[in-house]
Structure 1
Amino acid sequence: MMTTKYCCPNCKTNRSRFNIIDQIAHAVRLDPQSGETIEQFESMEDAGPFHTTYNGPSRRIQCGSCGLIEDEHTFIKFGEK
């Protein structure tokens, strides 16, 4: 794990209590009527041309004091101040 200073942009005082949320995207195809998983793809190449690749953040941070959840870069920028 990388050493990075965080500060909550909402409560502006918390610099020590955070929840680190690692996001893992799973490409699936669902039945439109039941919502049941029809197919789960091992790689994005298998998903086909009409399935967009997930391009969101791989990590989000939650403030352990006020509960704000944001992109990790937001907490890092406030931690640099």
Structure 2
Amino acid sequence: MSFPYLCPACGTNRSRFNIIEQIPFAVKKDVHSGYITERVSEKDPFHFHYRGAEYRVQCGICGIIENEELFIKNAQRNPLS
């Protein structure tokens, strides 16, 4: 998170962002009610666990939400003069 960002959508925002920390937890749900019936252990071999980004970034100007790497790469391609 200590890299410059540049919004890939609006292309002007370099300073106003929301950092979204993703904290996934695996669950089993009742098929009829939709209620969570139990949390699934990391050791459950029959459940594919989340392997996505730990953080997502939202532009504070246009609202787009993307992976942090996209904001960093865009800033690297378009450095400040």
Q: TM-score, normalised by structure 2?
A: 0.89
4+ runs of 1 displaced by more than 2 Å? none
Alpha-carbon distance between aligned partners in 2 of 1:34 and 1:7, rounded to the nearest angstrom: 43
Name the CA distance, whole Å, in 2 between partners of 1:36 and 1:77.
40
Structural RMSD (CA): 1.0
Give the equivalent residue in structure 1 for 2:42.
44
Indicate the SS of the match to 1:62. strand
Residues 11-38 of structure 1: CA deviation (Å, up to 9, x unaligned): 1110000000000111111101001111
Q: Does 1:9 align with 2:5?
A: no
Q: Equivalents in 2 of 1:50, 1:64: separation in Å?
A: 39
**Residue in 2 that maps onto 1:55:** 51
Find the aligned partners of 1:40 and 1:49 in 2 and give their Cα distance: 14
The TM-score, its normalising length taken from structure 1, stands at 0.89
Residues matched between the structures, number: 77
- CA separation in 1, counterparts of 2:4 and 2:50? 27
Structure 1 match to 2:63: 67
How far apart are the structure 1 equivalents of 2:49 and 2:42? 7
Which residue identity lines up with residue 44 of structure 1 in the other structure?
A: E
Q: List per-residue Cα deviations over 1:5-63 (Å, max 9, x = no partner).
A: 0000011110000000000111111101001111013x411xx2220010111100000
